[in-house]
Amino acid sequence: MAVFLQILIYGLAIGGIYAMTASGLTLIYSVTRQLHLTHGVFLTVALYLLWVCNSSFGWDPYMTVLLLIPLFFLLGLAVYLLFLKPFIKYPAVLSFQIFLGLIWIMESILLLSFETTPRISQSAISSVVINLPGNLLLGLPQIIALVVAILSTGIFYVVLKTTDFGRAVRAVAFNSGVASIMGINVNLVQSMVCGIGFILIALAAALISPWMSVTPMGGLEFVLFSLIVMVFGGMGNFVGALVAGVILGVARSLGMLVLGSALAAAVPYALLVVILVFRPQGLFKPM
Amino acid sequence: MNITWFKNFNNIGLLALLAVFIALPSVLSIGYLNIAITTLHWMFLCSAYSFVMVAGLFCLMSSVFYGIGAYVPALLWNYFQVNIYVGMIAGVIVAAIIAVAIGWLLFRTKIPPLTFGTCTLALTFVAEYIVQSTGSIASEGMVVRYTGSDPFNFQFDDKLTWYYIALAMVVGIYFLSKYLLNSKAGLYWGTVDENERLAEASGVNTMKWKLIVMALSAGLLSIAGTFMLRYQMFIAPSIVGPSPVIQMVLLTVIGGVGSIWGPLVGAGIFVPIGELIRIRLAQFTGLNLMVFGFAVVFVLYTLRNGLYPFFKDIVGRLINRHEKQASASL
């Protein structure tokens, strides 16, 4: 029972991370209609940056993230200006191919710089464990990851629903042409959304760096998981991304318990096939 | 192919190119011959892949069919001593069936091409996990049993023979593409690509033609897989993973989608570059992938349609200017 609960918490934490990256991805998709495939690679980049700061200077990842957030915001703007904005008018397949090329460029740079050895950062609280009654051991980093994931998704959801900026984002997501006629600066909204998506990436990286090792080549698979979460939850729905992320994370870790780690990685894909066959529009409607 | 066919400049050019390729092995050392065979192999792969792109399907599960063409004959040969040619046919059938099944499952949900692409890409990951988790010898890298040179079992010792087989495959798929894309099938696929709803409304059975192109592409890729199986005598699970198909996509896109020469040009230029980098600069692992990546980003940023239309455009303009000068001087 304790093992089951531990796996559940681990799955919830991972699911929270998926939810964060999927929310960023779904936001970027809904305002630009392009799939930002390098989302996962930038997560890997963030993890490596945190690791470098951790191993060379001894900085705690939870502190370095404060530096990383503005850096990644600017990075998001740069990626938008260079690779999303020029191709918005073209079919999405074009930017998909460009991002595939970019993924290979960035992954080979990472491979050349860092080799394939998995790296993990050491935080002051890496090995802090909360002892609950009933022989339950919960790692503090996982709990923090889960809490921050839910909080950040919640904050952005509130921003989207109540503020003017959030309304502008929803308008652009609904119909960017009409939104621009109504006086919304579509370029500004799109670039801000990309920046926010990248901030979520940096946050997610900080949350998982103490307890997950990073290798150069995991980027494409991570973004595929985020895409599965996106499709599962409904493209363009924040709450859907959170719910779907949690479901997929828990399913994945339960799958590790039941099927063994090799086949467990296939569980999210099986869920994707299920949702595509029975409910292709996803669990929730677009916001 | 009467005398007028030979008088056509294009066809003379084709024959000249073929002659160059036939004569090439005599000037290449064994290492470069290896690279040439790999290049021809990738030209075949990209052409086989580009069939689905012609029909507008962004299908990213070509690795699975490629791997089926490698694993099915390999398993049948290693464990049941089934002749490789028979195994090849079995591989083609299995690949075609899977292509049609998955195609049918995904096409009837009417998902946009992007989602179709990501789902098929996800399927390559699943295939890789499934192969890795079987726990049998296939999961780590399978060596094929070698029983000596045997033409009737698709086993040749001589590299030269492999080169000519690869060349024959490329020539074959060139003529197959030319025939199919200029036939009724090509028209149907073109209309599905242009506007699927309009095609349906005009009476084209889009589901049938999409499934046909999926099965065709799968069968050809499977044949290529059997070639690679026999040529390398070794298969790793990564063959069904995302890497081969991403490379196919990138090379096809670099060369230019939608034309017959596009994939051939894309593969023909960049596979040798990649292989040379991989061999000469082996201490920089992954550099060849970076070169592919840069090439794709550069081509898509500047040339949009690919290298082959760009070259064709330049050559056409040069010819026009030459003709204009010739006629102006009269």
Encode B239-272: b = buried (16+ Cβ within 10 Å), e = exposed. bbbbbbbbbbbbbbbbbbbbbbbbbbbbbbbbbb
- From chain B, pick out residues whose CB is under 8 angstroms from the CB of A252: none
Instruction: State percent of chain A over pLDDT 90.
Output: 30
ipTM: 0.85
Per-residue pLDDT tens over the stretch A199-252: 999 999 999 888 888 888 888 888 988 988 888 888 777 788 888 988 988 888
Q: Which residues of A touch B253 (CB under 8 A)?
A: 97
From residue B56, give the alpha-carbon distance in Å to each of A224, B148, B190. Answer: 22, 44, 8
Q: What is the structure's pLDDT at A209?
A: 87
Please state, in angstroms and as integers, the Cα–Cα distance from residue B99 to each residue in A99, A254, B123, B150, following that order: 26, 31, 12, 31
Q: What is the pLDDT of residues B183-193, one digit of tens each?
A: 998 889 988 88
- Residue B217: the pLDDT is 94
Q: Which of residues 115-144 of A touch B (CB under 8 A)?
A: none
How far is residue A77's CA from residue A70's CA, in Å, rounded to a whole number? 11
CA-derived radius of gyration, chain A: 19
Tokens of B267: 């593969």
User: Would you call A150 exposed, middle or buried from its count of C-beta atoms within 10 A (0-12, 13-18, 19+)?
Assistant: middle
Closest CA to B55 of B249, B188, B253: B188
Instruction: Please say if the pLDDT value at position B223 is more than 90.
Output: yes
Distances (CA, A) of B82 to B87, B154, B296: 7, 12, 41
Q: What's the one-letter identity of residue B274?
A: G
Quote the CA–CA distance of A35 and A28 in Å, as a whole number.
Answer: 8
Look at residue B137 in the predicted model and tell me its pLDDT: 63
Among candidates B67, B13, B14, B39, which has minimal Cα distance to B237? Answer: B67
Q: Which residues of chain B lie closer than 8 angstroms to A91, CB-CB? A: 113
pLDDT at A287 exceeding the cut of 70: no
Q: Where are the alpha helices (DSSP H) in chain B?
A: 3-7, 9-23, 30-54, 62-80, 84-107, 113-133, 159-181, 184-194, 196-201, 206-232, 242-255, 261-280, 287-302, 307-328
Task: List phi, psi (to 5°) of A169.
Answer: -60, -45
Q: What is the dihedral of CA A247, A253, A259, A265, to 10 degrees?
A: 80
A-chain residues near B123 (CB < 8 A): 269
pLDDT above 80: residue B264: yes
Q: Does residue B7 have a pLDDT over 80?
A: no
- Taking an 8 Å cut-off on Cβ atoms, the answer to whether B114 and A280 are in contact is no
Q: Tell if the CB–CB gap between A266 and B126 is shorter than 8 Å.
A: yes
Maximum Cα–Cα distance across chain B: 77
Q: Which one, of B176, B181, B100, lies nearest residue B191 by Cα? A: B181
Q: Would an 8 Å CB–CB cutoff place A82 in contact with chain B?
A: no
A125: pLDDT strictly greater than 70: no
Query: Tokens 């001589």 map to which residue?
Result: B158
Could you tell me the two tokens for B273? 């570059």
Q: How far apart are CA B87 and CA A71, in angstroms?
A: 55
pLDDT band at B2 (very low <50, low <70, confident <90, very high): low
Tokens of A196: 């926010």
pLDDT (tens digit per residue) in A1-41: 777 888 888 888 889 999 999 989 988 998 998 889 999 99
Nearest-angstrom CA–CA distance, B121 and B245: 8
